[in-house]
Amino acid sequence: MAEVAESAQPLLERATADELKHYYYQMLLLRRFEERASEMYVKAKIGGYCHLNLGEEATIVGLMAALTPDDYIFTNYREHGYIIARGVPPGPVMAELFGKETGVSGGRGGSMHLFDRKTNFMGGYAIVGGQVPLAVGAAYALRYQGKPGVVIAQMGDGTTNIGAFYESLNLAKIWKCPVLFFIVNNGYGMGTSVESGSSEPDLWKKGASFRVYGERVDGTDVLAVRDVVRRLRARAEAEGEPAIIDAVSFRFRGHSVIDADRYRDPEMVRRGRELYDPIRKFAALLLDHGVVDDTWLKSVADRVEREVQEAIDFANNSPDPKFEDLYKYMYATPVPNTPTAEDAIRAVKINRGEF
């Protein structure tokens, strides 16, 4: 099996020291970003629903390390880490969570609806399963236009129970779409365990009746994730062969910031955080191999702390979207009889009691 071959290689043959250090830095950045985002939510700087990637850092960084700039990414609403690891600075991401004009979606989308055209980050989608056919469609377009690249359809384990997933598998296969169904298997969809929601809990097998190949990977192992994505990505790009990747990790906290996680045994959660912490594991690996030392780890922690604080400062100091721009993005092609900036101002004044 290919995975065995990959992981049996000596560490420094799998990645350069600089690459390894970069993965560590990225994972720590996502960790601190999410921890601080949670704080900002409690301070009411962030509203709506806010889903964190805590515990999923290796899955995200490993995925992004395997992608090329030609690739496209569609995700669910638990996507802060994806857009950052794809290369968007944390400032505009935090600003989006704060609902600011400088946010990645202009403050219109919020935590669940991040987007960045420049890096082909094609959006976070908050209706379960909604992003999956869209990703297949993007892959269809790549193939149609004869362009390089593949598309990632990121989703959670719970999402593999919705019809859109199965229709997408079938369409991707019969139309030879270069798409990877990237399942972040964190064990739970809200309070529903994989075992109680899925008749086939081995999620990588769910493509079987569509003849879509699937593989499970340790989602807390950044290199393992990177390598499996690389391998299946190459095949998808060359042969239009879709595949499922079932990346197993542990959800550190409740479903969203406001979920008290009462349905999971606290002792199990405590142990899970210890056993399945991808960052701690990776730090130990790097120390063992002499790639880094404690001073280096400390300096990265300081750097990350500073960068996340700068992101928060940037978000805090950013302007809110203007009321007159309420209708600004309504249509791409303007047509008559649609509301204008003046309409927006009039309506908002009434709404705010300024009459």
Partner 1 sequence: MPVITYRQALNDTLGEELARDPNVLLMGEEIGVFQGSYRVTEGLLAEFGPKRVVDTPIAEEGFVGVAIGAAMLGLRPVVEIMTINFILVAIDQIVNHASKIHYMFGGQVSVPLVIRTPSGGTGQLAATHSQSFENWFAYCPGLKVVAPATPYDAKGLLRTAIRDDDPVIFIESLALYDTKGEVPEDDDFVVPIGVAEVKRQGTDVTVVSYSRMTAIALQVAQRMEQEGISVEVVDLRSLRPLDRPTIIESVKKTNRAVVIAEDWYSYGVTAEIAATIQEEAFDYLDAPVYRVAGLEVPLPYAKDLSAASKPNANSLIYAIRQVMRGTKRMR
- Residue 157 makes contact with Mg ion by CB under 5 A: yes
- Distance in Å, CB of 189 to ligand TPP, minimum: 3
When the beta carbons of 252 and 314 are compared against ligand TPP, the nearer one is 252
Helix (H, G, I), strand (E, B) or coil at 67: coil
Q: How many Cα neighbours within 13 Å face the side chain of 56?
A: 32
Q: Assess 350 for contact with ligand TPP (CB under 6 A).
A: no
Determine the angle formed by the axes of helices 278-288 and 294-316, rounding to 10 degrees. 140
Question: According to CB under 8 A, which one of 14, 21, 36, 108 is a site residue for partner 1?
Answer: 108
If one asks whether residue 348 binds partner 1 (CB under 8 A), the answer comes out as yes
Q: Do the bridges between strand 179-185 and strand 151-156 make them parallel or antiparallel, or are there none, so unpaired?
A: parallel
**What is the number of other CB atoms lying within 10 angstroms of the CB of residue 299?**
13
Structure tokens at 213: 């190949």
Contacted entry of ligand TPP, partner 1, Mg ion, none for residue 225, CB cut-off 5 to 8 Å set by kind: none
Read off φ and ψ for residue 154, nearest 5 degrees.
Answer: -80, 140
Q: Which stretch binds ligand TPP (CB under 6 A): 3-11, 165-173, 186-194, 290-298?
A: 186-194
Q: How many residues bind partner 1 (CB under 8 A)?
A: 50
Helix (H) or strand (E) holding 311: helix 294-316
| 78 interacts with, out of Mg ion, ligand TPP, partner 1, none, CB within 5 to 8 A per kind | ligand TPP
Q: Does position 258 bind ligand TPP by CB under 6 A?
A: no
Residue 92: which H helix or E strand, with range?
Answer: helix 90-97
Phi, psi torsion values for 4, nearest 5 degrees? -60, -45
Which of 127, 234 has the CB closer to ligand TPP?
Answer: 127
- The entry of Mg ion, ligand TPP, partner 1, none that residue 12 binds, CB within 5 to 8 Å by partner kind: none
201 sits near partner 1 (criterion: CB under 8 A): no
Note the Cα 329 to chain centre separation in Å.
25
Q: How many CB atoms lie within 10 A of CB 245?
A: 28
Residue (121 or 188) nearer to Mg ion, CB: 188
Query: Taking CB under 6 A as the criterion, which residues in 64-123 touch ligand TPP?
Result: 78
Helix (H, G, I), strand (E, B) or coil at 51: coil
Instruction: Note whether 227 binds ligand TPP by CB under 6 A.
Output: no
Q: How many Cβ atoms sit within 10 Å of the Cβ of residue 89?
A: 15
DSSP three-state, residue 271: helix
The nearest distance, CB 230 to ligand TPP, in angstroms, is 23
Q: Point out which span in 60-68, 182-190, 203-211, 256-264 binds Mg ion (CB under 5 A).
A: 182-190
For residues 202 and 194, give the distance between their C-alpha atoms in angstroms, rounded to a whole number.
9
The reply on whether position 189 binds ligand TPP by CB under 6 A is yes
Is residue 27 a contact partner of residue 57, using CB atoms and an 8 Å limit?
Answer: yes
Interface mask toward ligand TPP for 135-164; x: CB under 6 A: --------------------xxxxx-----
Tell me whether residue 123 or residue 189 sits nearer to Mg ion (CB atom): 189
What residues between 117 and 136 interact with partner 1 by CB under 8 A?
125-129
Alpha-carbon torsion angle 190, 30, 84, 194, nearest 10:
-20
| β pairing state of 72-76 and 192-193 | unpaired
d(C-alpha 338, C-alpha 328), whole Å = 11
CB of 179 to partner 1, least distance (A): 21
Residues in the chain: 355
> Is 124 a binder of ligand TPP (CB under 6 A)?
no
Interface residues with Mg ion (CB under 5 A) are 156-157, 186, 189
**Interface with ligand TPP (CB under 6 A):** 51, 78, 126-128, 155-159, 184, 186, 188-190, 255
Binding site for partner 1 (CB under 8 A): 47-49, 96, 99-101, 105, 107-113, 125-129, 158-159, 161-164, 189-192, 196-198, 262-263, 320-321, 323, 326-327, 330, 339, 344, 347-348, 350-353, 355
